[in-house]
C-alpha cells in the first residue's frame, strides 16, 4: 500500500516504468524533480523563502511542510527516503480506523476531510496498487468506487 501511495505522490516514468522519485517537490501544485538529494534540498530551501509552507510537499510521500512540521527537524530531512516513508506510514496509521478498509485511510492521507477529492485519490492509488499486485486495474477501481466517500 505504501508503495502505491509513493507511486501516486512522486511517481515518474523511468526506463518504461513508473517509479517513486525521492527527490520530488510539489510547490503550489507544480511538480519539480531533481537529480540528487542535494539539488532537491537546495531547491526546497529556495522555495521555502517565497512560498507558504502549506503549499510545499516533499519526498516520496509528498509530506506537506506546513501541516506536518512537527514530524521533522529540518525540511531537507523529508528528502531522506527512509524518513519520508516512515512519516507517510505514520500519517496513514493515524488516518486508519481499526476494521475499515485501508483505502479509506489512503483517501484521508490525501484529504483528511474526505469527500470527492479523497475518493478520486483512493481510486488512483487503487489502480497503482492493482498494477503492483498484478491484478486487473478495473477490478480495483470498481472496488474503490463501491466504497462510500467519508
pLDDT tens for each residue of 32-84 = 999 999 999 999 999 999 999 999 999 999 999 999 999 999 999 999 999 99
Domain count, the chain: 2
Q: Which residue bears the cell 529540518?
A: 74
Q: What is the pTM of this model?
A: 0.88
CA-wise closest residue to 104 among 125, 134, 132, 76: 125
* Domain that includes residue 120, residue range: 98-150
Whether 91 and 102 map to the same domain: the answer is no
Whether 90 and 114 map to the same domain: the answer is no
Whether 105 and 147 map to the same domain: the answer is yes
The residue from 95, 116, 133 where one domain ends is 95
* Residues in CB range of 40: below 8 A, 6 or more apart: 22, 23, 24, 25, 34, 58, 76, 79
Amino acid at each position: 500500500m505504501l508503495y502505491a501511495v509513493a507511486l501516486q505522490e512522486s511517481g515518474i516514468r523511468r526506463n518504461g516504468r513508473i517509479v517513486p522519485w525521492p527527490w520530488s517537490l510539489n510547490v503550489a501544485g507544480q511538480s519539480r524533480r531533481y537529480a540528487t538529494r542535494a539539488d532537491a534540498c537546495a531547491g526546497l530551501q529556495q522555495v521555502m523563502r517565497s512560498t507558504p509552507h502549506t503549499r510545499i510537499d516533499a519526498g516520496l510521500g509528498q509530506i506537506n511542510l506546513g501541516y506536518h512540521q512537527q514530524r521533522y527537524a529540518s525540511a531537507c530531512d523529508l528528502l531522506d527516503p527512509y524518513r519520508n516513508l516512515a512519516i507517510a506510514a505514520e500519517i496513514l496509521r493515524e488516518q486508519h480506523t481499526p476494521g475499515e478498509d485501508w483505502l479509506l485511510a489512503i483517501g484521508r492521507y490525501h484529504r483528511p476531510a474526505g469527500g470527492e477529492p479523497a475518493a478520486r485519490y483512493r481510486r488512483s492509488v487503487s489502480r497503482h496498487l492493482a498494477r503492483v499486485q498484478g491484478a486487473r486495474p478495473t477490478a480495483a477501481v470498481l472496488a474503490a468506487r463501491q466504497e462510500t466517500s467519508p
